[in-house]
Amino acid sequence: MKGLALLALAAFAQAADKAAPPADEPAVLWQERFLWDGLLQARDRAARVSADPKLIEVVKAIAYQAAQQTANLEQIRNYAKSQGENLRYAYSQEDPAPSLQVIQGNFKTLASGSEQVRNNLYYLTARLRLCQTQALPDPKLTEMGMLVIAQVQQIQLRLNDLYIDTAATHQQVRTEQWAGDDFFRFSAEHLLRAVVETQDSVFAVYNAAYELYLLSQPDPGQTPN
């Protein structure tokens, strides 16, 4: 997608390390407290009459939560990569069945972790869409939008690495057809598919963050003070 090219901008990359954990009390918009029904357009006009005072805090919290997903993907990647060594050990045994059973359980756990990251990113996308209903030209909001985009860049990089390691492990399973039953081979397929399907959620959260960034920009026809 063309918009992803903007992730390479230096300003976005420099902002990647500035996400800080939110306060103990989570910041939420008034829509999230009372009207979490997805009727964004119906509330758009009323929301713009008086922007939510928590808007900046919410976007900053979203950036922090996006950074958490990067850490989650890195952890999944480390475990996925180690399965390659586990497979080599299992295949070297006279009876690999017990070891392969453990690895199969690991595949299922890693697939569940990848699916959870995908769901988390879709949740962040929904929060960003709500923020868009109240986004007005504001330099601070622009900065926070850039921060979220920078965190999405990090998510994409970690997902790329996770895919490479998962694909390599999947190839090992396919090569050794003599070891492991159909259920074991399916667990490797399921893990790879779970990692690939996470990509759609990365696109979704990026698009939402980029649109919020655009909405925060000053009107080109507006005369600066």
Structure tokens at 87: 């497979």
Residue ranges of domains in the chain: 2-215
Structure tokens at 2: 């063309």
Q: Would you give the DSSP letter of residue 219?
A: P
Q: Would you give the DSSP letter of residue 90?
A: H
Residue with tokens 């965190």: 151
Q: What is the torsional sign of CA 9, 11, 16, 21? A: negative
Structure tokens at 209: 């963050």
pLDDT value of residue 6: 39
Residue of 170, 176, 175 lying closest to 191 (CA atoms): 170
Cα of 123 vs its chain's centroid, Å: 10
Contact call for residues 110 and 169 (beta carbons, < 8 A): no
14-18, 175-179, 200-204, 221-225 — which one is most confidently predicted on average? 200-204
CATH number for domain 2-215, candidates 2.60.40, 1.10.10, 1.20.58, 1.10.3470: 1.20.58
* Percent over 70 (pLDDT), the chain: 75
Structure confidence by residue, pLDDT tens digits, 141-200: 999 999 999 999 999 999 999 999 999 999 988 888 777 788 888 999 999 999 999 999
